[in-house]
Amino acid sequence: MAAAAAGLGLLTAGAATALPAAGDAGPLGCTNADLRGTFGFTAQGVTLPGSPVPPPLQGAFASSGLSTFDGRGHFTLTATNSFNGFVQGPGVVTGTYEVNGDCTYTSQSDSGVTFRAAIVSGGDELLILQTTPGVVVSGVARRQGRRRDRSPDLESPPRRCDASAIRGTYGFLANGVAGPLHGVGTVAFDRGGGFTLTATRSVNGTLDPEPLTLIGTYAFTEGCAFRMSFDVGFNFTATIVGEGREIVFIQTDPGTTLIVRATRQST
């Protein structure tokens, strides 16, 4: 069970770093060396009968975390996963990848789970499909830091991984496979470790009569990640991407498969 959970947590990872400029129709010529650095990701879908996931864990799936690529065909991923509402992690997964000349890539975890991806946004983003039978899961990975001069050898991490990195207000979309639950709103972080969130949700087709305002606290852990604890009892793990322009979240309460993607409202 643990091996299957860790393997599926690999879902989203990485992006090539040497893509041609827009409008260049020539050969792309990407190699493993073009896939290097650290990326934050979210993934969602379902696991079905016939998948490697044990029956009690089959159903709605969500995952979020960090993936790091060494430019030589090996990766390490840390992910928190929700299998049918059973939350596991964070756990560490390792494996191998192979970048194709057209700047797609395939990867395989040490547990045998496989993926195929399309590289977009000049190498800062990757659209990923899990190719394991019995699994319908896809995700998006975004570079955590920035690349100086568009070179994979000159990637720098986010300048800060503290309260100053998430200053200001973010707009967000929430998407829960189980429930189902969708939502939209804003979340503002202060430098003292607190936040205020306002959201309008649709839960099983029932809309909140008015926006909800919730408060809570956050604390950084490692790898530009932090935990959010709402005063009403909700808990999330969050990862900074794009040098703080975006944050991705996964709810870590039992019985949930909720992913949140937030973008800073202004620079």
**What is the domain-level CATH number for residue 123?**
2.40.128.120
Give pTM, 2 decimals: 0.79
More confident residue, 6 or 145: 145
Contact of 193 with 219, CB cutoff 8 Å: yes
One domain for residues 49 and 128: yes
One domain for residues 192 and 94: no
One domain for residues 210 and 152: no
Each residue's pLDDT tens digit, 106-144: 999 998 889 998 767 767 888 889 999 999 999 999 988
pLDDT of 155 higher than 70 = no
| Amino acid (1-letter code) at residue 104 | T
3-state secondary structure of 233: coil
Q: Which domain, by its residues, includes 246? A: 163-264
One domain for residues 76 and 103: yes
Domains held by the chain: number: 2
* Mean pLDDT of the 188-198 span: 94
One domain for residues 185 and 65: no
One domain for residues 171 and 217: yes
pLDDT of 54 higher than 50 = yes
pLDDT band at residue 83 under the 50/70/90 scheme: very high
Q: How many helices (H) and strands (E) does the chain have?
A: 1, 19
One domain for residues 29 and 134: yes
Q: For position 193, what pLDDT does the model report?
A: 93
Which of 29, 36, 33 lies closest to 102 in space, CA to CA?
29
One domain for residues 8 and 123: yes
One domain for residues 18 and 114: yes
Each residue's pLDDT tens digit, 207-263: 889 999 999 999 998 778 899 999 999 999 999 988 888 999 999 999 899 999 999
Of the three residues 106, 129, 156, the one that is the final residue of a domain is 156
More confident residue, 3 or 94: 94
Q: For position 36, what pLDDT does the model report?
A: 82
pLDDT of 12 higher than 70 = no
Which of 36, 10, 14 lies closest to 92 in space, CA to CA?
10
More confident residue, 29 or 104: 104
One domain for residues 111 and 186: no
Q: For position 28, what pLDDT does the model report?
A: 60
One domain for residues 173 and 217: yes
